[in-house]
Amino acid sequence: MTQSTSHADVVIVGTGHGGSQAAIALRQQGYEGTILMIGRDRAPPYERPPLSKEYLAGDKGFERIMIRPESFWADKQIGLRLGAAVSAIDPHAHRLTLTDGAAVTYGTLIWSAGGDPRRLPVPGAVLPQVFYVRDKADADAMMAALAAGARRAVVIGGGYIGLEAAAVLRKLGCAVTLVELLPRLLARVAGEEIAAFFADAHQRHGVDLRLGQGVRAVLGEEAGRVTGVRLESGEEIACDMVVVGIGIVPAVAPLIAAGAAGTNGVDVDEFCRTTLDDIYAIGDCAAHANPFADGAVIRLESVQNAHDMALVAAKAILGRPEPYHALPWFWSNQYDIRLQTAGLSLGHDQTVVRGDPASGKFTVAYLKAGRPIAFDCVNTTKDYVQARKLLESRVGRIDPALLADPEVALKDLA
């Protein structure tokens, strides 16, 4: 059987934050060519952050996490091909092959395929009550297990997604044990003060924290039901569901196979161009030299990065290139705690705490050679807003004593 071939001037792979925003930005910037979005997910474009927060908790239904109402895409003449994955790219013929055998040719390609959850590499990890949190289908499967009576959860991974899932599961009345391989929480993304604060908050909410502990196996009955988790120490923790949040693997295999450069994701320049002609990459999978990391080549996994890169790619496609220089920012909600992060703390050599963590409201400033490079703001939105301005102004050295004084507004330190 011969499969169909279709064409669009701009083809976008991935219907997540970056892909959707790229299509929206192209239209907003006046692009009149044909646009087709191809996405593996069957659901129309939706926001991912609520999957470990309000959506999982049942506080927001799907229609409230959709990026745009379903009719929007047709109204803007943006084609949506859902439930379709790209398996190969021929960069010379400007041609994509889909897993169902269909072909799509493109004038320009924007790759925004995000990442796949890193799988737990232990026996038993394929049991049906072992859940990841990346797609709507993952959250739905977890919610179905909860509705079917799961009440004891082991969360593996003490990063933001694991912590958010733990907070929601506690709110829903589950007994929660959280296992983290490293000696503290949030080791990859936040300083020790923030880690200690969240460890304390989760313990106060009844989470049994196991830090510095590896997982040896997920245990189950022959019928396939999870019954527990065995730690490296040999201890067994009984549970009826396991939630894994141990990071992602960038979804770039077809691009790399087509010859694009990249080791951790796919390499892009300041205009989000890959090393292949007419192929851009944005979002979680795009490795770039970030000016807020002193030019280090990094990937960022945040809505900010996906959105801002989408705009950069759209402008470059329209012939009005502007380099990617946006300030990184991020947020996380757990219980009644709202964390807002501005900048990147990577490489900091000093931290300064503003306010008293015991009060539940405080800010941590991260400094490198005396210069603030990032702020973690816990229930201190005013600090966050002013910190963003401070970082955007590329402020120089600041006296740590002034930074530490909550009576001194950050905006007055610019």
**Which chain residues interact with ligand FAD by CB under 6 A?**
13-19, 38-41, 48-49, 51-52, 85-86, 112-114, 133-134, 161, 251, 283-284, 301-304, 306, 330-332
Q: Which is nearer to ligand FAD, 364 or 398 (CB)?
A: 364
DSSP-assigned letter for residue 360: T
> Closest separation between CB of residue 30 and ligand FAD, Å?
23
Measured distance CA(260)–CA(409) in Å, rounded: 46
> Closest separation between CB of residue 110 and ligand FAD, Å?
10
Measured distance CA(12)–CA(342) in Å, rounded: 29
What residue is closest to ligand FAD based on CB? 16
Q: Which is nearer to ligand FAD, 11 or 150 (CB)?
A: 11
Q: Which is nearer to ligand FAD, 332 or 380 (CB)?
A: 332
Nearest CA to 397 out of 380, 414, 412 is that of 414
223 exposure class (CB count in 10 Å sphere: 0-12, 13-18, 19+) = exposed
> Closest separation between CB of residue 356 and ligand FAD, Å?
25
> Closest separation between CB of residue 271 and ligand FAD, Å?
17
Measured distance CA(10)–CA(29) in Å, rounded: 14
To the nearest 10 degrees (0 to 180), the angle between helices 17-28 and 303-317 is: 40
- DSSP, collapsed to helix, strand or coil, labels residue 83 as coil
> Closest separation between CB of residue 25 and ligand FAD, Å?
13
The Cα-based distances of 106 to 165, 281, 329, 363 in angstroms read 39, 14, 33, 47
Q: Which is nearer to ligand FAD, 109 or 207 (CB)?
A: 109
Strands (E), 94-207: 95-98, 103-111, 115-117, 130-132, 152-156, 175-180
Measured distance CA(255)–CA(270) in Å, rounded: 18
Q: Which is nearer to ligand FAD, 97 or 350 (CB)?
A: 97
> Closest separation between CB of residue 182 and ligand FAD, Å?
20
Q: Which is nearer to ligand FAD, 41 or 180 (CB)?
A: 41
